[in-house]
Amino acid sequence: MKIMNSEDMDEIGMTRQQKDALEIRSYLHDRALMQYGDQLEASGKGLPELLSLSTLDLSSQYGMKRGHIARFMDRTKCSAPQILCQHYIIPVPT
């Protein structure tokens, strides 16, 4: 099985919106949170922006339960290869 990378996405002509949707759904799948896929994708936000939302925003805007928010915010869980996991980790300025 081959994992699609950014060059593959460009080669098949995926739009930014399609790339964002794939990234969001992959992230949700790894955390067993696919029930939020449609809502998060429809928001038009990318994964980094969604991960920067407060727990209150995730709850009120997307109806996420408290335990699901904790799972969503946990960037350490990933069933994909390490290269993809690193993509999900947003660097914190020092």
Find the largest Cα–Cα distance for the chain.
Answer: 39
Mean pLDDT of 74-79: 70
What are the tens digits of pLDDT across the range 14-68?
Answer: 898 998 999 999 999 999 999 999 999 999 999 999 999 999 999 999 999 999 9
CA angle 6, 58, 87 (to 5 degrees): 20
pLDDT band at 93 (very low <50, low <70, confident <90, very high): low
For 24, other C-beta atoms within 10 Å of its C-beta total 19
pTM for the full predicted model: 0.74
Domains (ranges, CATH) in the chain?
Answer: 6-88 (1.10.150)
**Residue 59 to residue 69: CA distance in whole angstroms:** 8
Residue 80 pLDDT: 46
